[in-house]
């Protein structure tokens, strides 16, 4: 966050989710029925970029990363909710719409009567989102709690507990599109807190690979996206190799059980497609247990 402004990258990822069913073919990797309504007057313009230039590497790459991570995370959430999981934390929630879709069966794993949802994000982004929700006529469900957090200076689990989160009960913590914007110190401080959550809790974290581990498509996307987020004053700060992620998790009491790239994050047949979506080596998803 810069000078209290809401996250612009949250806007672009919401637009990618909204554009996916309109621009890409079957099979859809994820269906977000509320992304476009939430964007309101901005939806036509931003989705229009994808319609007009959807095969451009920055646009197709953003759709690829955004919908694969959403598919992966909400699929796991559905599995855990089916076993009685009671708490779901979305760190850096941005314009995520899970809590508002959860009663309509949209997305992967969204079901009525699911876990209590905690959306943790910078206060400026939350205020902006609340305004978009009100303008779109999207009600805030009873099972959702907004938790204001600055990841560079706050202790996220403590802030969550202040708002009704129970650290003594298992939870799924989703941390997508956040770690790369943090300093290494802030990243490790957060992991140390997550490692003290109740046994049976899980963390899903997205992280970005350093240049030496990217393929050609990943390097091209990194060049485009790196310049774009720097222009927005939201530069990438931290890049990690899988071994470094595993070591950091282990140092804080978390055990990596799965570490996947975009190719493995969705079922293999999903990549038999004729549109611009394709997997590439830049972002990865790690799932760890406590």
pLDDT tens digit at each of 290 positions of the chain:
444 456 778 899 999 999 999 999 999 999 999 999 999 999 999 999 999 999 999 999 999 999 999 999 999 999 999 999 999 999 999 999 999 998 654 444 434 568 999 999 999 899 999 999 999 999 999 999 999 998 878 889 999 999 999 999 999 999 999 888 888 998 999 999 999 999 999 999 999 999 999 999 999 999 988 888 776 677 888 999 999 999 999 999 999 999 999 999 999 999 999 999 999 999 999 999 99
The pLDDT assigned to 106 comes to: 40
Neighbours of 79 (CB within 10 A): 13
**Tokens matching residue 55:** 């095969």
Phi, psi for 176 (deg, rounded to 5): -110, 135
d(CA 229, CA 288): 28
d(CA 239, CA 55): 26
The pLDDT assigned to 150 comes to: 86
DSSP E strand boundaries for the chain: 87-91, 116-121, 144-148, 172-175, 202-208, 255-261, 283-289
What is the distance between the terminal CA atoms of the chain, rounded to a whole angstrom? 29
What angle, 0 to 180 degrees and rounded to 10, lies between the N-to-C axes of helices 42-53 and 8-23?
60
């Amino acid at each position: 966050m810069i000078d209290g402004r809401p996250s612009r990258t949250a806007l672009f990822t919401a637009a990618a989710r909204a554009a996916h069913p309109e621009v890409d073919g079957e099979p859809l990797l994820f269906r977000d029925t509320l992304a476009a309504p939430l964007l309101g007057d901005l939806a036509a313009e931003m989705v229009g970029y994808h319609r007009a230039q959807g095969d451009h590497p920055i646009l197709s790459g953003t759709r690829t990363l955004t919908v694969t991570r959403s598919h992966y995370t909400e699929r796991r959430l559905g599995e855990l909710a089916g076993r009685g999981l009671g708490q779901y934390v979305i760190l850096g929630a941005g314009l995520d719409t899970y809590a508002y879709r959860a009663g309509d069966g949209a997305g992967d794993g969204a079901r009525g009567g699911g876990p209590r949802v905690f959306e943790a994000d910078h206060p400026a982004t939350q205020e902006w989102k609340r305004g978009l929700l009100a303008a779109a006529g999207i009600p805030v469900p009873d099972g959702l709690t907004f938790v204001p957090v600055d990841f560079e200076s706050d202790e996220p689990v403590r802030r969550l507990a202040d708002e009704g989160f129970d650290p003594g009960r298992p939870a799924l913590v989703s941390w997508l599109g956040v770690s790369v914007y943090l300093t290494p110190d802030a990243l490790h401080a957060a992991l140390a807190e997550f490692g003290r959550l109740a046994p049976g809790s899980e963390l899903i974290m997205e992280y970005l690979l350093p240049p030496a581990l990217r393929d050609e498509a990943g390097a091209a996307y990194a060049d485009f996206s790196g310049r774009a987020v720097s222009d927005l004053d939201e530069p990438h700060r931290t890049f990690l190799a899988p071994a470094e992620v595993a070591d950091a998790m282990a140092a804080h009491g978390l055990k990596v059980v799965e570490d996947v790239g975009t190719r493995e994050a969705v079922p293999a047949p999903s990549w038999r497609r004729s549109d611009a979506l394709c997997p590439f080596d830049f972002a990865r998803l790690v799932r760890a247990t406590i």
